[in-house]
Amino acid sequence: MALAAVALAATLGSACVHAQLPEPTQLVDAQHCMFCHTTDAPFLAPSFHQIAERYRDTPHADAILEKKLRLGGPAHWGETPMPLPADRGGPLSREDAHVLVQWVLSQ
C-alpha cells in the first residue's frame, strides 16, 4: 500500500511539473510577444512550444531565458534577434520576466 502511494505521488508530482500555466495576457500583450511568436507554430521566431521543448531539460533555463527577455539579444534560431525591451513595449521587471518565462516553459 505504501509503495502504491509513493508511486502515485511521484506520478502526480511529475504531472505538476509540466502543467500548463495560464497565459499572462497583459504581459504578453504589453511586450508584443505575439508579433514574432505563436503558441504552437514557428512564425518570425520559434513558437513557445518549441522554446519549452528546447529548454525543458536545460539547467537554469529560466535564468537564461529571463535574461534574454529582459535584455534582448542575438538570434538563437533563424535570423530574427530578440528585440531590445524599448523596441517591444518597454522595460521588463525581473518578476514579470519570470512570469513570462515560467508560462513559456509550461507549454
Whether the pTM exceeds 0.75: the reply is: yes
What does the pLDDT read at residue 17? Answer: 52
Q: What is the pLDDT of residues 52-85, one digit of tens each?
A: 999 999 999 999 999 999 999 998 888 889 999 9
The structural domains of the chain, with segments of one domain joined by +, span 20-105
Residue 36, annotated as binding a ligand: no
Just give the CATH number of 20-105. 1.10.760.10
Counting Cβ atoms within 10 Å, is residue 102 exposed (0-12), middle (13-18) or buried (19+)?
middle
Average pLDDT, the chain: 85
Residue 18, annotated as binding a ligand: no
pLDDT greater than 90 at residue 18 = no
Q: How many residues would you count in the chain?
A: 107
CA 18 – CA 56 distance, rounded (Å) = 9
What does the pLDDT read at residue 2? Answer: 39
Residue 37, annotated as binding a ligand: yes
